């Protein structure tokens, strides 16, 4: 069993309140869950307007498949104009 995880820090352009931030993050998380079948959640910076930290994980039987899924999710987030990735850490166990 191979587990791929990624912790990611985001900057949210459109957020001028916590409500707007949560709207952007929930939308992004919902799209990623349905498209890539990963477990994903906001894991830190819950009370900061412009920043968020999310984490996601996938379980597979092949390291290259885990790398592929994580890369696809990162590319999807990079192409979303509402947020910018400021940092990410990938771990494959």
Please tell me the pTM assigned to this model.
0.88
Average pLDDT over the chain, rounded to an integer: 92
Domain boundary assignment for the chain: 2-92
Give the integer Cα–Cα distance in Å for 92 and 13. Answer: 30
Question: What confidence score (pLDDT) does residue 88 get?
Answer: 95
Mean predicted confidence (pLDDT) in 3-22: 91
Residue 45 has pLDDT above 90, yes or no: no
Among 28, 31, 61, which Cα is nearest to 42's? Answer: 28
Domain covering 2-92 assigned CATH 1.10.3720.10 in the classification: no
pLDDT of residue 47: 82
Vertex 77: Cα angle to 34 and 50 (nearest 5): 115
Q: What pLDDT is attached to residue 33? A: 93
């Amino acid at each position: 069993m191979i587990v791929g995880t990624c912790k990611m820090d985001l900057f949210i352009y459109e957020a001028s309140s916590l409500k707007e931030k949560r709207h952007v993050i929930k939308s992004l998380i919902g799209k990623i869950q349905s498209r890539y079948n990963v477990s994903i959640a906001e894991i830190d910076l819950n009370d900061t307007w412009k920043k968020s930290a999310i984490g996601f994980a996938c379980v597979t039987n092949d390291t290259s498949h885990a790398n592929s899924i994580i890369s696809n999710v990162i590319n999807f987030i990079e192409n979303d104009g509402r947020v910018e990735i400021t940092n990410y850490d990938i771990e494959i166990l």
